Amino acid sequence: MCGIIGCVGRGDETLDTLVHGLAKLEYRGYDSAGVALATDTVDVCKKSGKIDDLRAALESRTLSGPVGIGHTRWSTHGPPTDENAHPHRDCRGEVAVVHNGIIENYQSLRDELASAGHEFRSDTDTEVVPHLIEDALADGANPETAVREAIARLEGSYAVAVVIAGVDAIFAARNDSPLVLGIDDGEEGTGDAPGGAYYLASDVPAFRDHTDRVVYLDDGEFARLSSRGWRVTTLDGEPVEKAVDTVDWDPEETGKSGYDHFMLKEIHEQPRALRQCLRGRVDELSGTVDLGDLGDLTPRAVQFVACGTSYHAAIYAAQLFEEAGIPAKAYLASEYASKTPPIGDALVIGVTQSGETADTLSALREARRRGARTLAVTNTVGSTAARECDHTLYIRAGPEIGVAATKTFASQLAALNLLSLSVTSVSDSRDVIAGLRELPGAVQEILDDSNAEAVAETYGDAGAYFFIGRGLHYPVALEGALKMKEITYKHAEGFAAGELKHGPLALVTENTPVFAVVTGDDEMARKTIGNVKEVEARDAPVVAVTDGQSDVERYADHVLRVPDTHRRIAAVVANVQLQLVAYHTAAQLDRSIDKPRNLAKSVTVE
Ligand code: F6R
């Protein structure tokens, strides 16, 4: 999704700060990039393609100025061309705007502006904004009022940042798209700090190298940043008191630390992420879990809303709650409103690592409209989900840069286990807690000794990949397939193992390896082994992900071994092997692993 950066107070380093910030936002996914710097004029440089293309274009330009904004664009209106890249300017070239989100009434605004004589150079919805500001300035409004008036006319979702020729300030506003301010040397709440440097961005990594003090903007808020300080008001100009928070992670955490890709680094960070998730929350002796100030939840029923990988975590969690006798269902967030499931006393839980996914936020808002209590299970402190929900449970995975979710999925499963233990009565809670304690070590064992790379080499040119599992391994099968398709661009599907024979078996050939997740040696394992035999009989290669408890290996061409753990934990460790297979398959194919085509890290449009 689009990424925004802005800075003021960096003097000659403004341009470098912007480009560096854009590089830090690359993980969000983008197809073009640009910057605008304001002095008495506004200079813009923008290019389709990668940030290196923008850097190359900047080599032949002299852009300077004490205040600037930058943008990475993920196309929604119009293809990724230089013209459609942000920033966009007004007719006179004195106003530059970057935007993340979708302006729903842009067509009527554009028609109105065009018939008043404004000339448009792009296909984007965003371009109406500088022209609206131009009109307001021409009508005599001061710069800040002109921006407010223009923004008041927008419908839809936006995070917008604006610079204007001759004005030593950035103006910004948000509605339904994230925006965070970075404060260097500012005094809390006053915004009165001569000589300070101030930033704004879609996400903290964009300016984390410069400051750890942040202010999260809320919907309907407007910010003004200048070299003299910062101020937040409502769109109507009413002052808003904002807290300055401190982010507690190190900028180093957003580097690759010697790994070829962020995804591989993040796969290897899972033991640490899991330890962080569990730290201080479990008491093995008493078999209890303490989730701090989560409050009194005791739900009679639970509805999960989530997308993609987080939805797979939600399916897993729904089963944990069901097993504990609490009716629970996982909904795809984008389908939730259309299904209008009855809420009753249900607690609605949004599972979202970013806390900014538009579909999930929209489902949570729908749940609140219908009177439900809401809980965000998220990785991102200060995210919209965290701020809007009644309760928040942090998964504490640390920053995840690779577009494909890995460590956050593992941490979601761990955190959802903790949640289920804290609000339901689980008969073998001591065993689960002991399993959770062993989980980081079990993941480390896999990382130290996985043969996933060899398996990936064997099946690198397969026609398609299938993944099967039952019960808690069903979401693991779905997740294994999602990871494979997103980073290899090859066809991959996950199935409930028993469903294979009801249709998908027709797809199975000697060129379609089937990854079967089978742990333990219970009835469920035996049934999955029956499905493995069906596959084997059709000559498909079988890769068993197993703890060696059952005899599935007899029917498998390859084995990806996982430690023998509690059944709940087995799903988490089995997934690590599938992450590694997907990673090594994509590496062999030389794919853009951290930024797969067409995908974005934080999907802020519905
Ligand atoms: C897949 C992936 C996506 C996200 C989905 C929801 O690897 O990362 O499927 O899981 O876009 O994102 P969050 O969890 O931020 O709501």
Q: State yes or no: pLDDT of 587 exceeds 70.
A: yes
What's the 105 CA to ligand 1 centre distance in angstroms?
A: 28
Identify the residues whose C-beta falls under 6 Å from ligand 1: 307-310, 352-354, 357, 360, 404-405, 482, 486, 603
Looking at the structure, tell me whether residues 263 and 223 fall in a common domain: no
Name the token pair of 477.
């099968």
Query: Could you read off the pLDDT of 57-68 as tens digits, one per residue?
Result: 999 988 889 999
Give the span between the Cα atoms of 17 and 139, in whole angstroms: 34
Indicate which atom in ligand 1 lies nearest the CA of residue 354: 15
Looking at the structure, tell me whether residues 271 and 242 fall in a common domain: no
Which residue, judged by its Cα, is nearest atom 5 of ligand 1?
A: 308
Share above pLDDT 70 across residues of the chain, in percent, rounded to a whole number:
98
Which residue, judged by its Cα, is nearest atom 6 of ligand 1?
A: 307
The one-character DSSP state at 403 is: S
User: Residue range 432-439: average pLDDT?
Assistant: 95
Give the span between the Cα atoms of 185 and 217, in whole angstroms: 19
Q: State yes or no: pLDDT of 343 exceeds 90.
A: no
On whether the CB atoms of residues 205 and 182 are closer than 8 A, the answer is no
Looking at the structure, tell me whether residues 94 and 114 fall in a common domain: yes
Q: In the prediction, which pLDDT does 188 show?
A: 45
Residue 604 belongs to a domain: no
Give the span between the Cα atoms of 508 and 535, in whole angstroms: 7
On whether the CB atoms of residues 102 and 603 are closer than 8 A, the answer is no
Give the CATH number, domain containing residue 67. 3.60.20.10
Q: In the prediction, which pLDDT does 404 show?
A: 96
Q: What are phi and psi of 531, to 5 degrees?
A: -70, -35
User: Residue range 418-442: average pLDDT?
Assistant: 92
User: Residue range 586-600: average pLDDT?
Assistant: 93
Indicate which atom in ligand 1 lies nearest the CA of residue 406: 7
Q: In the prediction, which pLDDT does 189 show?
A: 42
Helix (H) or strand (E) holding 388: helix 384-388
Q: How confident is residue 252, by pLDDT bands cut at 50, 70 and 90?
A: low
Query: Got the DSSP string for 45-97?
Result: EEEES-HHHHHHHHHT-----SEEEEEEE--SSS-S-TTTSSPEE-TTS-EEE
Residue 543: CA count within 13 A, CB half-sphere: 26
What's the 550 CA to ligand 1 centre distance in angstroms?
A: 33
Using DSSP, state whether 391 is helix, strand or coil. Answer: strand
On whether the CB atoms of residues 22 and 50 are closer than 8 A, the answer is no
Which residue, judged by its Cα, is nearest atom 7 of ligand 1?
A: 404
Residues 6+ apart with CB under 8 A from 62: none
Indicate which atom in ligand 1 lies nearest the CA of residue 409: 10
Q: State yes or no: pLDDT of 277 exceeds 70.
A: yes
The one-character DSSP state at 355 is: S
Which of 182, 217, 179 lies closest to 199 in space, CA to CA? Answer: 182
Residue 295 belongs to a domain: yes
What's the 432 CA to ligand 1 centre distance in angstroms?
A: 26
Looking at the structure, tell me whether residues 455 and 411 fall in a common domain: no
User: Residue range 391-417: average pLDDT?
Assistant: 95
Indicate which atom in ligand 1 lies nearest the CA of residue 602: 15
Give the CATH number, domain containing residue 438. 3.40.50.10490
Q: State yes or no: pLDDT of 192 exceeds 70.
A: no
* For the ranges 191-195, 216-220, 222-226, the one whose mean pLDDT is highest: 222-226
Give the span between the Cα atoms of 87 and 6, in whole angstroms: 12
Residues 6+ apart with CB under 8 A from 188: 243, 244
Q: State yes or no: pLDDT of 38 exceeds 90.
A: yes
Residue 313 belongs to a domain: yes
Looking at the structure, tell me whether residues 477 and 421 fall in a common domain: no
Give the span between the Cα atoms of 404 and 455, in whole angstroms: 20
Q: State yes or no: pLDDT of 373 exceeds 60.
A: yes
What's the 353 CA to ligand 1 centre distance in angstroms?
A: 7
CB-count exposure of residue 339 (10 Å: 0-12, 13-18, 19+): exposed
What's the 483 CA to ligand 1 centre distance in angstroms?
A: 11
The residue from 221, 247, 273 where one domain ends is 247
Residue 602 belongs to a domain: no
Give the span between the Cα atoms of 374 and 385, in whole angstroms: 10
Helix (H) or strand (E) holding 268: helix 262-268
Residue 408 belongs to a domain: yes
Looking at the structure, tell me whether residues 225 and 340 fall in a common domain: no
pTM, two decimal places = 0.78
Sign of CA dihedral 115, 116, 119, 122: negative
Looking at the structure, tell me whether residues 397 and 467 fall in a common domain: no
Query: b/e for 422-444, b at 16 or more Cβ within 10 A?
Result: bbbebeebeebbbbbebbbebbb
Tell me which of 241 and 196 has the higher pLDDT: 241
On whether the CB atoms of residues 541 and 514 are closer than 8 A, the answer is yes
Q: In the prediction, which pLDDT does 602 show?
A: 80
Query: Could you read off the pLDDT of 102-144 as tens digits, one per residue?
Result: 898 999 999 999 999 999 999 999 999 999 999 999 999 999 9
Give the span between the Cα atoms of 248 and 213, in whole angstroms: 10
Q: In the prediction, which pLDDT does 193 show?
A: 44
What's the 499 CA to ligand 1 centre distance in angstroms?
A: 25
Q: In the prediction, which pLDDT does 251 show?
A: 67
Q: In the prediction, which pLDDT does 104 show?
A: 86
Q: How many residues are recorded in the chain? A: 606
The beta-strand segments (E) located in 114-268 are 156-164, 169-175, 180-184, 197-201, 213-216, 221-226, 229-234, 245-246
Q: What are phi and psi of 604, to 5 degrees?
A: -100, 20
User: Residue range 238-248: average pLDDT?
Assistant: 92
Looking at the structure, tell me whether residues 242 and 262 fall in a common domain: no
One-letter amino acid of 331? Y
Residue 227 belongs to a domain: yes
Backbone dihedral region of 424: left (phi > 0), alpha (psi from -120 to 50 degrees) or beta? beta
Alpha carbon 389 to chain centroid, angstroms: 17
Looking at the structure, tell me whether residues 350 and 438 fall in a common domain: yes
Give the span between the Cα atoms of 30 and 284, in whole angstroms: 45
The residue from 447, 471, 487 where one domain ends is 447
Q: In the prediction, which pLDDT does 159 show?
A: 94
Which residue, judged by its Cα, is nearest atom 15 of ligand 1?
A: 354
- Is the peptide bond prior to 194 cis by the omega test (within 30 degrees of 0)? no
Strand 197-201 relative to strand 95-103: parallel, antiparallel, unpaired? unpaired
Structural domains counted in the chain: 3
Give the span between the Cα atoms of 531 and 147, in whole angstroms: 62
Residue 601 belongs to a domain: no
Residue 557: which domain range?
450-595
User: Residue range 524-544: average pLDDT?
Assistant: 96
* Residue that is written with structure tokens 């984390």 in the block: 208
Name the token pair of 288.
């209890």
Mutate to test the pocket of ligand 1, among 203, 354, 487, 592 (most ligand atoms within 8 A of CB): 354
Mutate to test the pocket of ligand 1, among 27, 267, 312, 357 (most ligand atoms within 8 A of CB): 357
Give the span between the Cα atoms of 382 and 290, in whole angstroms: 22
Which residue, judged by its Cα, is nearest atom 10 of ligand 1?
A: 309
The residue from 429, 447, 465 where one domain ends is 447
CB-count exposure of residue 534 (10 Å: 0-12, 13-18, 19+): middle
What's the 543 CA to ligand 1 centre distance in angstroms?
A: 26
Q: What are phi and psi of 273, to 5 degrees?
A: -60, -40
Mutate to test the pocket of ligand 1, among 383, 409, 603, 606 (most ligand atoms within 8 A of CB): 603
Helices (H) and strands (E) in the chain, counts: 17, 26
Please, what is the angle between helix 567-588 and helix 407-423, to 10°?
170
Please, what is the angle between helix 128-138 and helix 143-152, to 10°?
130
Name the token pair of 155.
């419908």
The edge-to-edge listing of strands for the beta sheet with 542-546 is 492-496, 465-469, 514-518, 542-546, 558-561
Q: State yes or no: pLDDT of 298 exceeds 60.
A: yes
Looking at the structure, tell me whether residues 227 and 262 fall in a common domain: no
Residue 600 belongs to a domain: no
Indicate which atom in ligand 1 lies nearest the CA of residue 412: 14
Which residue, judged by its Cα, is nearest atom 9 of ligand 1?
A: 308
- The set of catalytic residues is 2, 601
CA end-to-end distance (rounded Å), the chain: 12
Looking at the structure, tell me whether residues 443 and 528 fall in a common domain: no
On whether the CB atoms of residues 414 and 394 are closer than 8 A, the answer is no
Looking at the structure, tell me whether residues 237 and 263 fall in a common domain: no
Indicate which atom in ligand 1 lies nearest the CA of residue 350: 16
Name the token pair of 376.
């965000």
What's the 185 CA to ligand 1 centre distance in angstroms?
A: 35
